[in-house]
Amino acid sequence: MNLAWRAPFTSAELSALHHSCFGSVAPVDWWTRVNAHSLGWVVARDDGDVLAGFVNVAWDGGEHAFILDTMVADAYRRGGVATRLVARAAEEARATGCRWLHVDFEPHLAKFYLESCGFTPTPAGVISLGLA
């Protein structure tokens, strides 16, 4: 498995991965979106150059980075790819001068983020803006 920071990908392949991980979504120009709004991203490809995983790292332009959309294709799950994606994202965010890496997640992902990836639970809040 090859992991690369800010590596190229196509919007079509990322849309397919996003769909397989999160369900039906409208096609998105992912390349334009992440280049406009992200500190970076990590792409995981198998030896055949298939997109096996992806994680987006958004940021506030300063010391805070945010993990978004950690995704691993079905065929590559349970093999440590997601943990490696997040670890690489943390390394790269640290290298750019970020002091904090945030993530929010659904309860069923707590063990992954807290135990496998080393995040510390903190009090936080969220407001639903009612958008679908």
- Residue 128 falls within a domain, yes or no? no
- Residue 112 falls within a domain, yes or no? yes
pLDDT recorded at residue 132: 55
Percent of the chain with pLDDT over 70: 98
Q: Quick one: average pLDDT of 37-58?
A: 96
Residue 131 has pLDDT above 90, yes or no: no
The SS3 assignment for 103 reads coil
pLDDT tens-digit readout, 96-126: 999 999 999 999 999 999 999 999 999 988 8
- Residue 127 falls within a domain, yes or no? no
Q: Quick one: average pLDDT of 79-96?
A: 97
Model-wide pTM > 0.85 = yes
pLDDT recorded at residue 125: 85
- Residue 132 falls within a domain, yes or no? no
- Residue 62 falls within a domain, yes or no? yes
Give the least confident one: 2-6, 34-38, 46-50, 128-132. 128-132
- Residue 15 falls within a domain, yes or no? yes
- Residue 42 falls within a domain, yes or no? yes
Report which of 112, 91, 89, 80 is spatially closest to residue 43, judged by C-alpha positions. Answer: 89
Cα Rg of the chain, angstroms: 14
pLDDT recorded at residue 53: 98
Range of the domain at 45: 2-116
- Residue 125 falls within a domain, yes or no? no
User: The CATH number of the domain where 96 resides is what?
Assistant: 3.40.630.30
pLDDT recorded at residue 40: 98
Q: What is the count of structural domains for the chain?
A: 1
Distance in angstroms between the alpha carbons of the first and the last residue of the chain: 35
